[in-house]
Amino acid sequence: MNKIPSALQLGIRRGALEIRQFARQRESVVFTLLFPVILLAIFGSVFKDTIAPGVTFSQYFVAGMIASGLVNTGFQALAITIPMERDFGALKRLRGTPMPASSYFIGKAILIFASMVVQILLLLGFGVLFFGLEMPTDPGKWLTFAWLVLLGSACSTALGIAFSIVPKSGRGASAVVSPIVIILQFFSGVFFVFTQLPSWMQQVAAIFPLKWLTQGMRSVFLPDSFATQEVAKSWETERTAVILLVWLVIGIFFSVRKFKWDRD
Amino acid sequence: MSLIEVKGLKKSYGDVHAVRGLDLSIAQGEIFSLLGPNGAGKTTTVEILEGFRTRDAGSVSVLGFDPQTRGHESRIWRNRIGIVLQSSSDAGDLTVIETIKHFSCYYSNPRNVDEVIHSVGLKEKEGALIRNLSGGQRRRLDVALGIIGNPELLFLDEPTTGFDPEARRAFWALIQQLRTDGTSILLTTHYLDEAEALADRVAVINNGVIIEVSTPAELGGRATSQATVQWRDGDSIKSEKTDNPTALVSSLSSAFKGEVPELIVTRPSLEDIYLEMIGGANE
């Protein structure tokens, strides 16, 4: 008798399968990967001003788009598609096999990370080519960028899986999830300059990860002189890491404890 | 040794007592069919055996393991069983062979992917996307995914719903082959002819308890029940219930001086017996 494969091994296999499945859904591929680019094109064409010396709105907006891309691609997509998989009976069938839950979660994390990488490459390429986006030159900033994307997509994946228990059906999922994400985007300074928002909005946003991801991305794409214009007069890098980690733990906890494989 | 052993199983949902003290014993190597009307507690029982639901009371052993246990032990147990659920319509963007191949990697000793595709009759469709399969082909894929792990025990829930008669016959042959290869099968079905064709033993469940366990031929005293003899007499069809059909036929034969017109001798079908049983139990 051979041994049953490890959870990690199966997780990687599931990741490959999820990517293959995703790549075949042409509409969602185009929507997920190009939506941020389209938004950049719209906002970049409308707002041509600089918001601080040497900082164009596009530069500011790209930071916000990458951060909210993490939320859209991870949290929003999973909180909508997992209830659909549940409705289809796909999750129950998986539950009946020796595949452990953690492999399913790892597969989702791989899918989200891979599509984030493609999405970011497209957005940055498009920004540099058409909207004068300036890339950071300091290797330290790229390091920050790398851990932000990794931690951000892990956090977003875990929270998306955890939140998938909320919608009662796949059909209604979008109506539950999308407004939350859109409101968070407005509150977190994705579409507007964060410091210009009313302070109660800022305080609400500060509870959730998107504000911190957006601020973290600004620390990568905006000059350090801009840090003085943040609410805390600094990038608050350590605090960002801590808050994202806390949300990651919360997401994993509820995913492991409360995940629903079956409709009822 | 019995494969499945259930004693005093109970399960309620709020005020509804779905299963109320159910006993069941299924032997290794048999095809065992669970019959019962909707709401009889059939699905609840099977889902408890499959480890999808917890029980309120009683003891359950499936392959010597309590299905309620979680963790690594549960993976080792699931590695030995296969489950074909009622309906699933997922992963339409993968091909048949991709899906079966992927599921095969969940198990320690999977069956050969090609062989499984052959045995469920999907060879010609192996490269097709699942969303382009017909209902019957999808069902056969469900079965393929249930048996790819080379299970000792297979749960089959309403496997042939929506099949045309030819596909059903082919499917039955597949199930019989699986049994010949050593897989024990727990079949739940609404089709009495299916239970009769496949099952070694059937159990009728109603109101949350088993009311009888028997072979399909003997269920409800079927083997010894009265036969009905029917024939044409002039313009009318006559029929008579009797304990001695042979005697009746031979007296008819001498009365007609040879061939009895439109002669039919029947015993109650499994369906007749079954309906009588659950009807009686409901009164």
Condensed to tens digits (0 to 9), the pLDDT of residues B41-80 reads: 999 999 999 999 999 999 999 999 999 988 888 999 999 9
* Partner-chain contact A96 B52, CB within 8 Å: yes
Give the length of chain A. Answer: 264
Q: Give the minimum alpha-carbon distance from B86 to chain A in angstroms, rounded to a whole number.
A: 9
Q: Which residue of B has its CA nearest to A260?
A: B52
Q: What are phi and psi of B56, to 5 degrees?
A: -90, -40
Q: Which residue of A has its CA nearest to B73?
A: A98
Q: Kindly state the average pLDDT of the residues A82-101.
A: 93
B69 touches chain A (CB under 8 A): no
Give the length of chain B. Answer: 283
Q: How far is CA A184 from the centre of its chain?
A: 12
Q: Which residue of B has its CA nearest to A3?
A: B108
* Partner-chain contact B75 A98, CB within 8 Å: yes
Condensed to tens digits (0 to 9), the pLDDT of residues B134-151 reads: 888 888 899 899 999 999
Structure confidence at residue A28 as a pLDDT band (50, 70, 90): confident
B87 touches chain A (CB under 8 A): yes
Among A186, A182, A212, smallest CA distance to A201 is for A186
Give the amino acid at A219. S
> In this structure, which CATH number among 3.30.360.10, 1.10.3720.10, 3.40.50.300, 3.40.50.2000 belongs to the domain B2-220?
3.40.50.300
Between A193 and A246, name the one with better pLDDT: A246
Give the amino acid at B229. V
pLDDT of residue A200: 93
* Partner-chain contact B83 A96, CB within 8 Å: yes
What's A136's DSSP letter?
A: P
pLDDT of residue B13: 92
Structure confidence at residue A250 as a pLDDT band (50, 70, 90): very high
pLDDT of residue B283: 45
Domain ranges within chain B, ordered by starting residue? 2-220, 225-282
* Partner-chain contact B90 A3, CB within 8 Å: no
- Residues of chain A with C-beta less than 8 angstroms from the C-beta of B67: none
Least confident window among A36-45, A198-207, B30-39 = A36-45
Q: What are phi and psi of B160, to 5 degrees?
A: -110, 15
A85 touches chain B (CB under 8 A): yes
Regarding beta strands B153-157 and B236-242, do their DSSP bridges make them parallel or antiparallel, or are they unpaired?
A: unpaired
Q: Cβ(A153)–Cβ(A109) under 8 Å? A: yes
Q: Give the minimum alpha-carbon distance from A138 to chain B in angstroms, rounded to a whole number.
A: 43
Condensed to tens digits (0 to 9), the pLDDT of residues B196-216 reads: 999 999 999 999 999 999 998
A26 touches chain B (CB under 8 A): no
Q: Give the minimum alpha-carbon distance from B78 to chain A in angstroms, rounded to a whole number.
A: 5
Radius of gyration of chain B (CA): 22
- Residues of chain B with C-beta less than 8 angstroms from the C-beta of A98: 75-76, 78-79, 106-107, 149
Q: Give the minimum alpha-carbon distance from B102 to chain A in angstroms, rounded to a whole number.
A: 8
Q: Give the minimum alpha-carbon distance from B223 to chain A in angstroms, rounded to a whole number.
A: 39
SS (H, E, C) chain B: CEEEEEEEEEEEECCEEEEEEEEEEEECCCEEEEECCCCCCHHHHHHHHCCCCCCCEEEEEECCECCCCCCHHHHHHHCCEEEECCCCCCCCCCEHHHHHHHHHCCCCCCCCHHHHHHHCCCHHHCCCEHHHCCHHHHHHHHHHHHHCCCCCEEEEECCCCCCCHHHHHHHHHHHHHHHHCCCEEEEECCCHHHHHHHCCEEEEEECCEEEEEECCCCHHHHHHCCEEEEEEECCEEEEEEECCHHHHHHHHHHHCCCCCCCCEEECCCHHHHHHHHHHHHHC
User: Residue B227 pLDDT > 80, yes or no?
Assistant: yes
* Partner-chain contact A2 B85, CB within 8 Å: no
Q: Kindly state the average pLDDT of the residues A177-203.
A: 90
* Partner-chain contact B85 A99, CB within 8 Å: no
- Residues of chain A with C-beta less than 8 angstroms from the C-beta of B150: none
pLDDT of residue B89: 67
- Residues of chain A with C-beta less than 8 angstroms from the C-beta of B78: 96-98
- Residues of chain B with C-beta less than 8 angstroms from the C-beta of A10: 105-106
* Partner-chain contact A4 B89, CB within 8 Å: no
Structure confidence at residue B163 as a pLDDT band (50, 70, 90): confident
Instruction: Output the CA–CA distances (angstroms, integers) from residue A65 to A84, A125, B261, B277, in the order listed.
Output: 26, 14, 86, 66
- Residues of chain B with C-beta less than 8 angstroms from the C-beta of A2: 108-109
* Partner-chain contact A4 B87, CB within 8 Å: no
Q: How far is CA A140 from the centre of its chain?
A: 22
* A·B CB contacts under 8 A: 75
Q: Cβ(A145)–Cβ(A100) under 8 Å? A: no
**C-alpha angle B23-B24-B26 in degrees, rounded to nearest 5:** 165
Q: Cβ(B73)–Cβ(A3) under 8 Å? A: no
Give the amino acid at A47. F
The dihedral over CA atoms of B18, B24, B27, B28, expressed in degrees to the nearest 10, equals 30
The conformational region for residue A132 under phi > 0 = left, psi -120 to 50 = alpha, else beta, is left
Q: Give the minimum alpha-carbon distance from B165 to chain A in angstroms, rounded to a whole number.
A: 26
**Complex-level ipTM:** 0.89
B109 touches chain A (CB under 8 A): yes
Q: How far is CA B23 from the centre of its chain?
A: 18
Between B58 and A263, name the one with better pLDDT: B58
User: Residue A5 pLDDT > 70, yes or no?
Assistant: yes
Q: Tell whether pTM > 0.80.
A: yes
Among A93, A134, A256, smallest CA distance to B106 is for A93
* Partner-chain contact B50 A13, CB within 8 Å: no
pLDDT of residue A97: 95
Q: Give the minimum alpha-carbon distance from A10 to chain B in angstroms, rounded to a whole number.
A: 7
Q: Show which of residues 45-64 on chain B sit within 8 Å of chain A, judged by CB atoms.
A: 50-52
